């Protein structure tokens, strides 16, 4: 199948180290600006479907805001599964502690999948995304 490139976003809409959600021909895509190099990935986390643009981007490593699963935006590879958030040393009330323990037990069986990436190109200040 032939790949065609579709205009996605003006490059100046995404600061270096930033991300932006766009819809490209019905596909939910996040455009990542890694020091002037642009990458496009599926919007939804490979762990529990959270919107990835709500997370953080450090270099080419995207960390999901929901459970801290990490992905390489250059390849889409899942680098880690969910990481429990540090409570800062606070001890939750007993019922909350039990709930958190139950959620952790359930989540350990949820696989974190790699995410889809799309080829990009930058022309005249426009980021184009390759679709098949």
Q: Which DSSP state fits 30?
A: E
Residue 88 pLDDT level (bands cut at 50, 70, 90): low
- Token code pair at residue 70: 């990490």
Tokens 């959270």, located at residue: 50
CATH fold, domain 4-85+112-131, is Rieske Iron-sulfur Protein (2.102.10)
Sign, CA dihedral 115-38-10-132, equals: negative
**The pLDDT value given to residue 29:** 97
**The pLDDT value given to residue 23:** 96
Return the SS3 of 103: helix
Chain-centre distance for alpha carbon 106: 22
Mean pLDDT of 16-20: 97
pTM: 0.82
Mean pLDDT of 10-20: 97
**Residue 28: phi, psi to the nearest 5?**
-85, 120
Structural domain boundaries of the chain?
4-85+112-131
Distance CA 5, CA 8 (A): 9
Question: For the chain, what is the mean pLDDT?
Answer: 89
* Triad 91, 95, 101: Cα angle to 5°: 75
pLDDT at 87 over 60: no
- Token code pair at residue 61: 């490593």
pLDDT in tens, 23-72: 999 999 999 999 999 999 999 988 888 999 999 999 999 999 988 889 99
């Amino acid at each position: 199948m032939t790949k065609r490139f579709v205009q996605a976003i003006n490059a100046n809409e995404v600061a270096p180290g930033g991300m932006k959600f766009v819809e490209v021909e019905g596909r939910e895509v996040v455009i990542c600006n890694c020091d002037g190099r642009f990458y496009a990935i599926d919007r939804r986390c490979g762990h529990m479907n959270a919107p990835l643009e709500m997370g953080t981007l450090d270099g080419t490593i995207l960390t999901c805001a929901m459970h801290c699963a990490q992905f390489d935006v250059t390849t889409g590879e899942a680098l880690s599964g969910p990481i429990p958030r540090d409570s800062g040393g606070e001890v939750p009330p007993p019922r909350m502690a039990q709930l958190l323990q139950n959620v952790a037990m359930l989540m350990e069986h949820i696989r974190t999948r790699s995410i889809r990436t799309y080829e990009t190109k930058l022309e005249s200040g426009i980021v184009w995304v390759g679709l098949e």
